[in-house]
Structure 1
Amino acid sequence: MDAPTMHNSLATKPLRKTKVDRLRDISCLPDGKRIIVCAIYESFRVMDLEMGTQVGEVWENKHRGVMKIALSPDGKKVASGSRNGAVKLWSVDTGKVIKTWTGHTDRVISVSWSQDGGRVVSGSDDGTLRVWDVQSGKTILGPINIGKNVREVCYSPDAKMIATALGSRGLKIWDANSGELLKTLQRVFSMCLAWTSDGKTLIAGGSKIDTATWTVVDLCKDFVNANSLSPNDRILAISSYFEKTVQLWDLETNQPIGTPLHHQENVYSATFSVDGKFLLTCCRDGHIYTWDVSAIVKRAGLPSDILDVTP
């Protein structure tokens, strides 16, 4: 068997591919049946996860230019960052804008909710982050100068810290109440962030960081542009942009699970389903790829309880 044939025989195939033009980002709604899809610079829509069909009308986005979305902890609102510097809140039920916050002077690259849903932090190409009070819409912290090239901002689960990913300029950790710079990790290349639910581990790109000691373990040294944690924090999905692959990792052993998941083009984002049994990836080829994580885990010889989300 020649090398290409062997590669194809071992490759994991997606469960399905769903066509969505100009696809950019996805959030899974708490009911486990629907997803919110963001098309680059254009619109939002709600889709049925299993059927791949649109639910209701397209959410009208008059000014377009949406860069990133984040679902509120209660699943009722979506925060979006825009090219014109605005941060908007949307109602999931109506698909309408309910609040618009202005203050940034350049495009908003990333937004993140505090776990209690009371605050949203935004990071912008104007070199600052701002913390917004959801109820009043006022900036309650900032603008804080974090420097250019911000790629993502992310609240810690206890909302005491904010992490900022700055690409080749490293990773910075801020006090979420005072704005004080707490830690700088210059050697960590970070385009994307994810905290485990207990706050003990921060994932920055392909690096796993112990937040008690700030010890760094590099799982992957590729150009990692997207990552996602399973609901029980046991499995990490990381996207290698130039390789056009997503790899699953066992966070307890720091070992890869199965073979890389291959895509036709670069992957923009990845997110687990609410039950952790599926992984959804947004590909530049205009498709949502749905991967059966249960089957991948079984094929790798791992116990099924690695997916268990029950207490």
Structure 2
Amino acid sequence: MKSLRLYLYRNWQLYALLILPLAFFLVFKYGPMYGILIAFQDYNLFKGVTGSEWVGLDVFREVFGMSGFYEALRNTFMLNLLDLIVSFPAPIVLALMLNELAGRRFKKFAQTILYLPHFLSWVIIGGIMFQVFATKTGIVNLLLGRFGIDPVPFLTDKYAWLVTYLAVGVWQSAGWGTIIYLAAITGVNSELYEAASVDGAGRLRRMWSVTLPGIRPTIVMLLILKIGEIVQIGFDRPYVLGNVSVRDFSEVISTFVYKTGIQTAQYSIATAVGLFQAVVGIVLLLMANAIAKKITDNGVL
């Protein structure tokens, strides 16, 4: 006990610095969790959580009875899985390429250009995409018309829209994702590169045999987190890029919650779907972490 008091006396400044972050999480993260109760109530906005009638699992039964919910769930899994396949390797490849650039000025310029899309909101990106890919007035289709090629319905055909959706996602996120991998690459022992060069390994062989194994723990950790988020999807991107013509693919859980739960004031349904997403996300995260630990001995938990 005396040693504990002595330890706290010596390090009280560190614990004092934790007060504000802990208060933030308690007030803004854990405090609002009582709102989960709405998923088990016939919630009335005027009666509040304490005055609304309890209905048990009836709200979940109603949600699982909606055909639109399964369509939104299918699209969420599909878009996130394709995004994982297409977008996840992109920052790794970019980081490897940037790491091999010799010119510092060009390297900094390339990094700045690649990072820039991350700072644009999806509303701005949606406007840019319309100007570029619109069927009649888009720059791409106007150029195709100059060569006698029929316009491509990038934004109105659901399969063409799917390709556009994935490509825009790579463009927006890949540059920012390289920051983490470039930071991980700086931690790789430089002596390993020297030894590989002495053994006659070229650039590609050094990337494959030295760089990639060196950043493998980072790759595994980010992959686990991505798998845990596979049932979660942001609202901005599918809502801004989607339209009525591609609703078969663009209607996801976040837009379903907005249209069904928020616009029609069915807050119990919105909360139930959100709770379902959280539970499934935790299960996927734990499963991915367990598999990664068995295969690579690396994990998040």
TM band (smaller chain)? under 0.3
Structure of higher RCO (CA pairs closer than 8 Å, 6+ residues apart): 2
TM-score by length of 1: 0.22
Q: Which is richer in helix?
A: 2
Instruction: Pick the structure with greater CA Rg.
Output: 2
